[in-house]
Amino acid sequence: MRLTGPLRAAAVLLLVGLTWLLANTFFRGDSGSSVRHFFIGAGEEPTPSEPRPRKYKCGLSAPCPPKHLAFRLVSGAANVIGPKICLEDKMLVSSVKNNVGRGLNIALVNGVTGELLETKTFDMWAGDVSDLLKFLRPIHEGTLVFVASFDDAATKMNDESRRLFDELGSTAVKELAFRDSWVFVGAKGIENKSPFEQRMKNSKSSNKYEGWPESLEMDGCIPLRPPLES
């Protein structure tokens, strides 16, 4: 059946109206959201994107309680990327600060105030272990000791150096071997073993890099000690 007269005019007007409505919806604002809005209806809102998780001091996923220090330790990757020691959002040891070295990277921190006392590196492949012993022996009661390995942390270790780390709360130092990855936080005068320690054994069957295990990363919150009684 052919449309004639008023019916044809009405059909043309209807077609023009629909075309205008679609064009107006499509070209108004952002085309993708306008088309989606047109088809899902005015009462439905697009799902907002997921918010990025908030990061706290040293990149922790949650804030530390009051009177606690936020920290993050990262051991070196093979013999290429240096270790990092972060405390309270301040980088104590890093390649950027140009204070990392092969072997043991150590930061001493006042356990009462959280103040950095000293950072030092010890070459445990070609260095002299007596330098490490002279550094560890006089550490004062209550001092926090942060350790991150780089390349090889164990070749020059002797019985006394292992005993000194054991007294700081280390469990893994007894078995620490050539090119193992190691991160550790201990304290002079600690009563029990430290909960902050990780070791990745150097093993040909599981190494991430050729000749080295993967880098270790550890973070957490350390309680400040009350002032020592005089």
Type of residue numbered 171: T
pLDDT given at position 14: 58
Residue with tokens 């330790």: 73
What pLDDT is recorded for position 207? 81
In contact, 143 and 183? CB cutoff 8 Å: no
pLDDT for 182 equals 98
- CA dist 121 → 1, 47, 131, 153 (Å): 95, 51, 10, 10
Gyration radius of the chain over CA positions: 31
pLDDT tens for the chain, 230 residues: list them.
554 555 565 555 555 555 545 445 444 444 343 333 333 334 444 455 666 677 899 999 999 999 999 999 999 988 889 999 999 999 999 999 999 999 999 999 999 999 999 999 999 999 999 999 999 999 999 999 999 999 999 999 999 999 999 999 999 999 999 999 999 999 999 999 999 999 999 887 778 877 888 889 999 999 999 986 65
| Residues 140, 192: Cα–Cα separation, whole Å | 17
- The residues, any chain, with a CB within 8 Å of residue 51's CB and separated by 6 or more, are none
Two tokens, residue 16: 């023009």
Domain ranges of the chain: 68-223
| Cβ burial, residue 226 (10 Å; 0-12/13-18/19+) | exposed
Instruction: Give the pLDDT of residue 211.
Output: 83
β-partners of residue 161 are none
What pLDDT does 79 receive? 85
Q: What is the pLDDT of residue 25?
A: 46
pTM of the model: 0.76
Spatial separation of the C-alpha atoms in residues 230 and 227, rounded to whole Å: 9
pLDDT at 57: 97
Task: Write down the pLDDT at residue 11.
Answer: 55
The residues near 56 (Cβ < 8 Å, ≥ 6 apart) are: 62, 63, 64, 70
Instruction: Give the single-character DSSP code of 79.
Output: T
Helices of type H across the chain: 6-27, 31-40, 129-136, 159-167
Contact assessment for residue 199 and residue 172, using Cβ atoms and an 8 Å cutoff: yes
Question: What is the distance between the alpha carbons of residues 150 and 94, in angstroms, rounded to a whole number?
Answer: 11
CA distance 105 to 35: 58
